[in-house]
Each structure stands twice: as C-alpha cells, then as structure tokens.
Structure 1
Amino acid sequence: MSEEKNVDTDLICINCPLGCKVFVKGDLTVPEELEIKGNTCIKGKEYAISELTAPKRMVTSSVMVLKGDKPVVSVKTKEAIPKNLIFDAMNEIRRAKMQAPVKIGDVVIGNLCNTGIKVVATSNVDRI
C-alpha cells in the first residue's frame, strides 16, 4: 500500500491563454479524489494532476549540421518528456549531428532517452 502524499497548493494552468489559477488539495496517490478548483475547463484539471504527479516538458535545442549552409538546425521533441529526463535528453541532443540537407520534420533522434519520443528538425538547412 502506498504512503499518502498530501498536497495543498496552487499553480497556473498553461494549457490555454486563460492561465487559470488552479488550487489543488488532497492525496496525490488518489488523483481521482483530489479537490481541484479554479479551472474553467477540463484541461485545467488534467494539467494540475499531470503537473503534480508526472510533470513533463517539451524540449527545444539545436543540433550540429555537417556540410550545411548553417552550422546548426533547430530541433524539438515531438511530445513532452518527463521533466526528470531533461538533462539526460539535452546531453543526448548535444551529441547528435545531422548531415545536410535537413528539412523541417526530419527525425534527428528516433528514441530520446529510451522514451520512444522523437526529436525532429524545426527548420531547413541546405547542403553546400
């Protein structure tokens, strides 16, 4: 049986431009019983539960390009990754290299930190 993880906090929902202040109170080990107030839509409730139980973030960076008209290409994760993996993810991205040409959407890393999440190019780099 898991130990109680009581919480009494507030956070700002970032799922839409409204930026609702969401108040959360209760035991995190039983998310369906949490008291959640302040959200104007279901996204606020989902965001609060996710942020407090398993926070995730999108990661953006750049990757070196060989024989390109630009030295680097901008990249991002296709999905948010667990927040605790961000430093490992950045280390893996930093070691990556692409061969020009690179097109928007090209897969740079196919399985970032064994999460199954792809890193893709977000700009174009032509070959020189």
Structure 2
Amino acid sequence: MSENKNVNLTCIGCPLGCSITVCMQDKEIISVTGNTCPRGEAYARKEVTAPTRIVTTTVRVSGAASPVVSCKTKSDIPKGMIFDVINALKEITVTAPIKIGDILIKDVAGTGVDIVATQNV
C-alpha cells in the first residue's frame, strides 16, 4: 500500500521565494501548490525528481598575480555529482592568461558540462 508524502520547498525560481508543497505518491507527483508563477511549479517538479545545481568555485592558476581563477559549470549538473566535480577541479592548474568565458575543463567528471572562467586573470 502506498502513502502520500508532502515535500516542502522554498522556490529559487525568482526573488519571491514561494513556499511550495509537492504532494507525492511513491515517486509520482500528485500536486504542486504554493507557487505564484509557472516557474515555481517547474522548479518543484524538477527538484523532487531530478535535482540539479550550478557549481561555482575556483581553480589554481599559474603565471598570474592571482593564485586562483573563479569558475563555474556552464550549465547545471545532477546534484549527486557536485563532489565529483569539486574533486576533479582540485587536481588541475590552468595557465594564464584567462578570459571570462574561457573553457577551463571540458566534460568535467563525465557530466557533459564544461567549466568556464568567470573572471579575467
């Protein structure tokens, strides 16, 4: 016998930060309530079925005044792969000069997502 389960979230789709409740039965979404816009419903559905995140961090750099360059994933990755990405980035050093948008690593940790620079060094 299956039970209904409520998952409470705070939406990050816009600045309103709506309190959203997702009612689920097993792994099926029954309803989404509390959102004030369609982005909230889309966020809630994705968050309970396949959560993803953008990872922002730094990577070591050589040949520059700064020892590190800030960077991020070019798009979101599965939430469960965050530590795989961070561990892969611990192992690299890039060489200056670096410009915003430069790809520092292609397909980081097998995610299919590139790491891009977010500052000039």
TM-score by length of 2: 0.92
User: Which amino acid is the alignment partner of residue 9 of structure 1?
Assistant: V
1-structure distance, mates of 2:15, 2:44: 16
Are 1:98 and 2:94 an aligned pair? yes
Unaligned runs of 5+ in 1: none
Unaligned runs of 5+ in 2: none
- Name the counterpart of 1:66: 62
Identical counterparts, % of pairs: 45
2-structure distance, mates of 1:109, 1:65: 13
Pairwise CA distance, 1:26: 2.1
2-structure distance, mates of 1:98, 1:5: 51
CA RMSD after TM alignment: 1.7
The 5 A counterparts of 1:78-97 are 78-97=74-93
2-structure distance, mates of 1:122, 1:5: 46
Are 1:40 and 2:42 an aligned pair? no
TM-score by length of 1: 0.87
- Name the counterpart of 1:13: 11
Pairwise CA distance, 1:97: 1.3
Q: Give runs of ≥4 in structure 1 deviating > 4 Å.
A: none
1:42-98 deviation line (CA, Å, top 9, x unaligned):
111111111111111111111111111211100001111111111111000111211
Pairwise CA distance, 1:9: 2.1
Alignment size in residue pairs: 121
Pairwise CA distance, 1:114: 1.1
1-structure distance, mates of 2:47, 2:56: 19
Relative to its length, the structure with more strand (as a share) is 2
Q: Is the 8 A contact 1:20 1:39 kept in 2?
A: yes
CA 77–28 in structure 1, closer or farther in 2 if over 3 Å, else same: farther
CA 76–36 in structure 1, closer or farther in 2 if over 3 Å, else same: same
